[in-house]
Structure 1
Amino acid sequence: MTAKSRARGDSTRDALVRTAVEVFGRDGYHATRTRTIAAEADVNQALIGFHFGGKEGLYKAALALVSSGISENMAPLMEAIRAELSDGRDTFPSQAARLRYHLPLVHRVTDAFVAIFTSEESRSWARLILREQQDPSDAFDEFFEQSIGKVLTMFAELIGRAQGSSSTDRQVRLTALTIVGQALIFRAASAGARKFLGHPFGSKDVAAIQAVIRRNVEAMLKAGVAA
């Protein structure tokens, strides 16, 4: 195969996967027809079988693209947070001091969640993730472990450290999920949120959402420490 042929094949494969994310997210796995994806990608339908072996393979490739997108968005921040957490500091004079040290790190993560969930970039892949959450496919476990699970595990570790608890503690994990949910609503229920606010999300709205969630998170974590 020539370099030109490989480049053309890669371009075709990329077009099919990106279109698959849109169509599977919009129509759902069972209602989606491969001919629809091929038509919208402007690609010969037979090439889906050639590149992916069929619909299931294309769906897994679409999930893998979403997974890589999540990693690209969150990996730099996750690495920075891990570096902060591994600096050896695990002794604090009080629980309040522990919380003060970790809160800025928690805020960095929640700010990132809000920025991602309010961005247009997240629209198509978030829709596919939400469908997968409601009706998990055979590919869900692998997808979870490679993407969402990594982010949640890191965030639970951060919450646990802020409260002086284990990241595997059920209450810590419930707290982490609840905090993520505060940001996720602006994607999962974006039409209702925009309607309720009366206009599309602008930069000032994103900053305001981030500020509200910071206040909520601080109150939640202080309550958890007090308990």
Structure 2
Amino acid sequence: MQDLNNPSTTRQNLINAGVKLFAIHGYEATSTRMIAKEANVNIATIAFHFQNKEGFYRAVLKYVAHELDRPLLPLVDHVRRLRSANSITPAVAWVLIEEYVDSMLKTVLVIQDFEHAHYLNLLYHEQLYHPGNEYPITQVVCKKMESILTELLQDYRKDTDRETATTISRIVSSSIVAFGEHPMFIRRALGLADDAPLPDHIIETAKEYLLNGIRSFRAQA
């Protein structure tokens, strides 16, 4: 059993245990005893690092939000700089939309299958129990991710209203998340090992499918 001699490692082990257990059982059904057993620590260690179960749950949600947010940061900074310079033309917006789709597809594939499932489950559980009325994962997935694409869609097609752009953004983002849920099924359909990387042409096919949908939307607008 671990002790408090390596606080950083112990804290991360607890977070990892929390991601798994809260995703599977939800907040109410996950006890501190279950968490301590999963992390192989003394139950008092939870209070030492997080004060109580609710504080620990908040830390788990914020950790997952950070993990989902991190791949977005370079693109967010790039878009912000271009917007500040008033440099986002429709042509530039399209290039950024392509970067967004490509980046998000690759991001969801980097996350291991079980982690992807845990992250999604925590997103759903967050709607049921949200201490302090905080929704850190929702803020990243349903606000930040979608708002970036919504704004770019309006930059791409200047006469698009916010509601329509938001709807298209939600469809694209949801499709990307769903794609990340099914890599194992795709591997097995292709006769690949469960841990084999998906071939580049599969990712490109998904990317073109989404981009063609956006192009189609423009043609019909």
Fold shared, TM-score > 0.5 on shorter chain? yes
Structure 1 position 131 matched with structure 2 position 125: no
User: What are the superposed Cα offsets for residues 63-97 of structure 1, whole Å, 9 maximum, x if unpaired?
Assistant: 11111112222112221122233331356xxxxxx
Which is further off, 127-136 or 62-71?
Answer: 127-136
- Structure 2: where are the runs of 5+ without partners? none
User: Is the CA contact (8 Å cut-off) linking 1:110 and 1:213 kept in structure 2?
Assistant: no
1:43 equivalent in structure 2: 41
Q: Aligned residue pairs: how many?
A: 213
Distance change >3 Å, CA 55–CA 165, structure 1 → 2? farther
Matches of 1:195 and 1:185 in 2, distance apart? 17
- Structure 1: where are the runs of 5+ without partners? 92-97
Same amino acid, percent of matched pairs: 23
Structure 1 position 220 matched with structure 2 position 210: no
Alpha carbon RMSD of aligned pairs, Å?
Answer: 2.8
- SS of the aligned residue for 2:104 comes to helix
User: What are the superposed Cα offsets for residues 11-44 of structure 1, whole Å, 9 maximum, x if unpaired?
Assistant: 3223211221122223433332322221222211
Residue in structure 2 matching 1:16, options 14, 17, 21: 14
User: What are the superposed Cα offsets for residues 116-172 of structure 1, whole Å, 9 maximum, x if unpaired?
Assistant: 111245742x33332234341215743146522222211211122112246x71211
Distance change >3 Å, CA 17–CA 110, structure 1 → 2? same
1:94 equivalent in structure 2: none
User: Is the CA contact (8 Å cut-off) linking 1:165 and 1:172 kept in structure 2?
Assistant: no
User: What are the superposed Cα offsets for residues 171-215 of structure 1, whole Å, 9 maximum, x if unpaired?
Assistant: 11111111122221233344434333432475552x324322332
Matches of 2:24 and 2:102 in 1, distance apart? 27
Q: TM-score, normalised by structure 1?
A: 0.78
Which is further off, 102-111 or 30-39?
Answer: 30-39
Q: TM-score, normalised by structure 2?
A: 0.80
Matches of 1:165 and 1:48 in 2, distance apart? 53
